Amino acid sequence: MSKKVFVGMSGGVDSSVAAALLVEQGYDVTGVYMKNWSEDLPGMHCPWAEDVADAKRVAVGLGIDFRVFDFQKEYKQNVVDYMIREYQAGRTPNPDIMCNQEVKFKIFLEASLAAGADYIATGHYAGVDRLVFATRS
């Protein structure tokens, strides 16, 4: 039985290639779009619907299952509220680090393992000093 990998898919090239490579290597792959924000802001359209459609189109093309995990509440608490607090304190926040740390590599991992994944993957680039595997028990 092949290992089940949930791939965080944004609809972009990096995550699409990651999913394709895992399929090619024989993993049981499920594409997952992380819905972190869906509100339009004044003068700014949030393209989440287009992004999820792109990710789903890639998943269909690869012949893999596709899911949407709704992390909007967690994203607001862990990323947006943090960013606002830091600005209010006169500091320059880095919301990308908080998103990666709290959403993509924590909440996504926990939700994926709970849904039956053995591993997660993304299209993020990383340098590895120490590799730690988390699997469901």
Name the amino acid, one letter, at 124.
Answer: H
Distance, CA of 61 to CA of 113 (rounded, Å): 25
Q: What's CA 108's distance to the chain center, in Å?
A: 6
pLDDT digits (tens, 9 = 90+) for 108-137: 999 999 999 999 999 876 555 665 665 665
Distance, CA of 51 to CA of 98 (rounded, Å): 21
Is the pLDDT at 102 greater than 60? The verdict is yes
**Predicted TM-score (pTM) of this structure:** 0.87
**Helix (H/G/I), strand (E/B), else coil: 69:** strand
What is the pLDDT at residue 124?
A: 76
Q: Are 75 and 101 in contact (CB under 8 A)?
A: no
pLDDT digits (tens, 9 = 90+) for 14-57: 999 999 999 999 999 999 999 999 999 999 999 999 999 999 99
Distance, CA of 62 to CA of 46 (rounded, Å): 26
Radius of gyration (Cα) for the chain, nearest Å? 16
Neighbour order of strands in the sheet with 28-35: 65-70, 28-35, 4-8, 119-121
